[in-house]
Amino acid sequence: MQWTIQRGITTVAATAALAVLSAGANGQSPAPQPHQPAHAKAAHTTYTIAQLNAMSDAQFVQIVGAVYEHSPWVAERVVSQRPFASAEALRSAMRRAVQQAGEAQQIKLVRAHPELAGTAAARGEMTAASTSEQGGAGLNQLTPEELARLQSLNARYSEKFGFPFVMAVRGHDRQAIFAAMTQRLNNDRDTELRNSLEQIDRVVSFRLNDLISG
């Protein structure tokens, strides 16, 4: 009897093993894999400046253009200036392109940025970079009171200046952001356009540092 039971167990084990091998041979997964959460962070691709210099114009614009929020035109204006000697040389060229673009194009650039914890954030429509930056500053964890305060500041700022409040929020917490918004509401439009472009330049510096490995 004992031998019969053991033989039965061995037979079941062998059958299971054959099923696994058969599934593998058919290209099927032999067993469910551990679930990876939907929010798991994907590996971040980086490039050397040499790789960016060697890309086609279209590839360069697609990859580098993303550091400016919904504004690939900046990369388009510098692509012909390659090869760049360094990441800093690339950043400087793009900064000059923005400075020389004229006020109308500069305002379009500012308006391409989402409000902090605004409608785009609520709808999940922000770029991955903006989502990460705002989340890192705790803007996805606001209390109802903080959210109401931020929405009020956003509305006042947009009404006064005609474009959204832009701040390089990486390294800042929500209280520092509230303080900056409150202070900058006292400025005139020309000052705030300059401030916005300076903040965008800081955002781009952070993003280029993430993008370029050497």
Query: Hey, which residues are catalytic here?
Result: 113
Please give, one letter per residue, the 3-state secondary structure of 21-65.
Answer: HHHHHCCCCCCCCCCCCCCCCCCCCCECHHHHHHCCHHHHHHHHH
DSSP letter for each residue of 198-211:
HHHHHHHHHHHHHH
CA angle 70, 136, 174 (to 5 degrees): 100
Rounded Cα distance between 78 and 38, Å, is: 36
Q: What's the CA gap between 126 and 56, in Å, rounded?
A: 27
For 141, the 3-state DSSP assignment is coil
CB 68 within 8 A of CB 109: yes
